[in-house]
Structure 1
């Protein structure tokens, strides 16, 4: 996690710019919990998802280990009902529970995923919901050239959608040395590993395959709270 923290600190500003333009959060917004009390975003980065959830929940907490990301979140996306905490996802410390716990592209950085999922379950209110979106790949760590080729293929479509200036900035970020070094340290799991791991730890969860990502949805009822 320390390596991920350091790499995100290096690219925080450009990462926020790119993700503001490119990321689609509809998967989370279409799977909100029925109860709208408290929500938690694990690995909240620069606070984009926290900001979106703030319109639907009484309180939203975002946690991250990157000081630079948290600084951007507090500067650009601080609301009356949001807070950002420097906290390691491997050690969740909260006195109150949540109705909605989410995480986007963070779990492939974790060393002890089963332990984190158990902590999340213990922090979830009955009838609450956990929604996770993370990378899925048959190759644990794709080669660097795969990302470079991908950035090249996306350049023209990005020009059409965002204009030359923004498309060039996206391309520079996606092919920058700090970002490529970060990607080279990522370790993904396969589709089968998702079904085996999450299916065991989050009984009766639902899966949604979305190209490069796998979505996981789990609702906690009285029966599952005793598992």
Structure 2
């Protein structure tokens, strides 16, 4: 079991709750391949985006390395046209191709992004789309206190928007030892790193800076 796998196994239930409450998937959905077909979500976690994509595609496959996350996906978001697989993003193993390949907040966990991008391109049908959304930071690994301060600053707005009970649960997750240990191992790209790396790997791709994240969209 690698580090990311064990870390996500530990926080799966609370991570699912927080992401179901807070995450906005509009970027991925607004950049979908426009026709029915097959979609792949790399780093699907507990299946939140897979479930949404299932309304648009004939088949959606979600892969992740955390069994606990996949168990949540199967128990909460298994549909007739969804498949969840334990698979390492750096070793994609499919016979079929896809019309839409998406990944949200997963790429900063990868050791070899160029290899993964090449595999994605090979798995993509002509005119298919790759959409990647991942964290961006001028500091490769922000110090722990930054995340704690962020959780404190978000607490009151979360109370007003989601209620005290939910806000407390979000705060406890975001400041938990397991989650902070995970964040301490993350390594983020800067904005310029995105332009340099993805601009080379996905010629002609479009970039979208959303503050906390960078979005990358490429059409084959």
On whether the aligned pair clears a TM of 0.5, the verdict is yes
Q: CA deviation at 1:35?
A: 2.9
Residue 2 of structure 1 and its aligned partner are, at CA, apart by 1.2
Contact 1:64 1:85 in 2 (8 A): yes
Equivalent residue number for residue 45 of structure 2: 45
> CA-to-partner distance for each residue in 1:134-180, whole Å, 9 max, x for gaps?
00000000000000000000000000000000000000000000000
Q: Structure 2, unaligned stretches of length 5 or more?
A: none
Aligned-pair RMSD on alpha carbons? 0.7
User: How far apart, in 2, do the equivalents of 1:159 and 1:35 lie?
Assistant: 39
- TM-score normalised by length of structure 2: 0.99
Aligned to 1:138: 138
| Maintained 8 Å contact 1:43/1:89 | yes
| Residue 2 in structure 1 maps to residue 28 in structure 2 | no
SS at match of 1:185: coil
Other structure's SS at 2:184 match: helix
Q: State how far apart, in whole Å, the 2-side matches of 1:35 and 1:29 are.
A: 12
Q: CA deviation at 1:41?
A: 0.1
- Segments of 4+ in structure 1 off by > 6 A? none
- Structure 1, unaligned stretches of length 5 or more? 221-227
Distance 2:157 2:20 in 1: 17
State the distance in 2 between where 1:162 and 1:108 align.
29
* 1-structure distance, mates of 2:162, 2:77: 22
- Aligned to 2:214, the other structure's residue is in SS state strand
CA distance in 2, matches of 1:165, 1:34: 39
TM-score (norm 1): 0.96
Which residue is 2:196 aligned to?
Answer: 196
DSSP-derived class of the 1:218 partner:
strand
| Residues 1:103 and 2:110 aligned together | no
Task: Give secondary structure in 1 for the equivalent of 2:89.
Answer: coil
Measure the CA separation in 2 of the matches of 1:114 and 1:129: 17
Please give the secondary structure, in 2, of the residue aligned with 1:127. strand
Deviation of 1:36 after TM superposition, in Å, equals 1.9
* 2:207 matched residue in structure 1: 207
1:77-132 Cα shifts (integer Å, max 9, x gaps): 00000000000000000000000000000000000000000000000000100000
**Number of aligned positions between the proteins:** 220
